[in-house]
Structure 1
């Protein structure tokens, strides 16, 4: 009986220890924070020009909303198997083409949750938009709607090929935050070197790069349909945009058509943790690790106590 209990306690301890890394990593991920959204709401004018009767407008909007809903459900389903997926979903009047992408270093389960949140958020924020782009911290999506009955749609077999062409790397969104870095000697040179390393890193890393360079932590990623050489060019353009748009910001995020770059400057030293930009989440991970460690220690003490107790009983029997 005692031996069996000790065996069960040992198994419990092993499971706790093995689960610590995944618990900590998951707790650190701020994947569902909205970074930005872009919704093209020019749909009403388009539909009014293409419908013969004005009272048909509401029905067309409903049909299109169903197509978008099917598209978003398809993305959420595929996110359990992939971190990038592009597709075309259509009905008798509307076709929806687009993709989702998750941050490459986030676990698959987090990717699936993130895309699930994207589905809800994009539906709520962009409604009946003809095109939408929604970025969360851990994933993003983009889609466009095309009227199937139009000549251009029929010529392209109802597929919006422009959505998947090599982008022009235009600036979509920027975030420049933190105190001025002008007082830190060599900051600009350090950032230039770090982002240059990212330009090479995304090519070697098949579209994703995360690393620390001196006092900078850098993350870069290209959209999944962007080719390797174009990916490097996009990150180079993002680095140039960071130098111009966020010149003295100690933290910045640059989103271009096709890629994004984020950097964080630590004047003293880079924290020895993953996912540096989510500082509060990292602290939560530390706290969780402490709690799990205490529980594991208590289980271990319990095992020792039961073992000693069993030895004492055997001594009493003699």
Structure 2
């Protein structure tokens, strides 16, 4: 009797242990699936972001021919050594983020601000940042007499007010870091710019060339590049005059963008953009891409000799839909493969635990 009781007890105890072990495995599986699900989407998002980052870096690496031009008395990188150093700094920043707040170029005067003008500048910057949450362009003056400071900001025409605010709000700290307490400065980011100056500071012509970037790769004109570029430039020139001083579009695989400062009239904007186009031809020639920044307007273009899957003369983004779909498929495949490997490893672990439970 005792032996039977002992056997029944051992059997019950063993069964209870197995049930407890199975329930524990089931609980771990739920937890693992939950974290695997979270990891999958996190991994997919990081890979996709990293791929877009690498694409952006590669695009910037092709733009090697960079030149700064002085704005009146604003000492903008007068030596090649200084320029090279800034390019390295910008590239280091680009490695970590490629958004609208990346610095394109800076212009800083050599003249310093007086104490009262410095106070007025801080008030001015705060006012401009606050306004950027409501509109994409504003100009204002703070202070009186010789201590007054005037400032202007503008965001790219395709940015919303909230994105404009995020862009402009980064500039005050960049002014402090890149220029210091100077009488005039201009900071151009990818998505916006802000400039200020003390009253009476020497003015600059609207069509003064401030900055250029020419793609290092050249185009074989056997594809009719010059004719396509001239046609696209004509679209930009007409577009800015009839489209709120901003235009983006494409023509035969050549993507273009142009924008004028909102203080300009339509005709002045058209003339400014035309000057920028002439500078692009003169400075960049048959480069596959270019960015030209004048004092009151800028243009950019990128040419895809092999074509893109879809083109539109009024494209708002200037992106390559075929490339984006290819990226999505490639990244999805990589993420799915990685997730499959993790699942197989988990399955192997579960089977091992179950085999151990039989002993």
Q: TM-score, normalised by structure 1?
A: 0.65
1:35 correspondence with 2:111: no
Name the counterpart of 2:122: 69
SS of residue paired to 2:170? helix
Aligned pair count reads 234
Name the counterpart of 1:132: 185
Change in Cα spacing, 1:257 to 1:271, as seen in structure 2 (3 Å) is farther
Name the counterpart of 2:158: 105
1:120 correspondence with 2:173: yes
1:169 correspondence with 2:207: yes
State the Cα distance separating 1:31 from its structure 2 match. Answer: 0.5
Whether the aligned pair in 2 keeps the contact of 1:41 and 1:128 (CA below 8 Å) is: no
Whether the aligned pair in 1 keeps the contact of 2:280 and 2:292 (CA below 8 Å) is: yes
1:182 correspondence with 2:214: no
Name the counterpart of 1:10: none
Name the counterpart of 1:257: 295
Where relative contact order (Cα < 8 A, 6+ residues apart) is larger, the structure is: 1
Distance 2:216 2:328 in 1: 24
Taking only aligned residues, the RMSD between alpha carbons, in angstroms, comes to 3.3
Q: Which has the larger radius of gyration?
A: 2
The structure where strand makes up a greater share of residues is 1
1:269 correspondence with 2:307: yes
Deviations 1:280-311 (A, max 9, x none): xx79x959x97xxx9xxxxxxxxxxxxxxxxx
SS of residue paired to 1:218? strand
Which runs of 5 or more structure 1 residues have no equivalent in the other structure?
1-23, 48-59, 147-152, 154-159, 295-318
- Within 5 Å, which residues of 2 pair with 1:37-56? 37-43=106-112
Whether the aligned pair in 1 keeps the contact of 2:309 and 2:320 (CA below 8 Å) is: no
State the Cα distance separating 1:270 from its structure 2 match. Answer: 3.6
Q: TM-score, normalised by structure 2?
A: 0.58
1:216 correspondence with 2:254: yes
Which runs of 5 or more structure 2 residues have no equivalent in the other structure?
1-48, 54-97, 337-359
Distance 1:75 1:102 in 2: 12
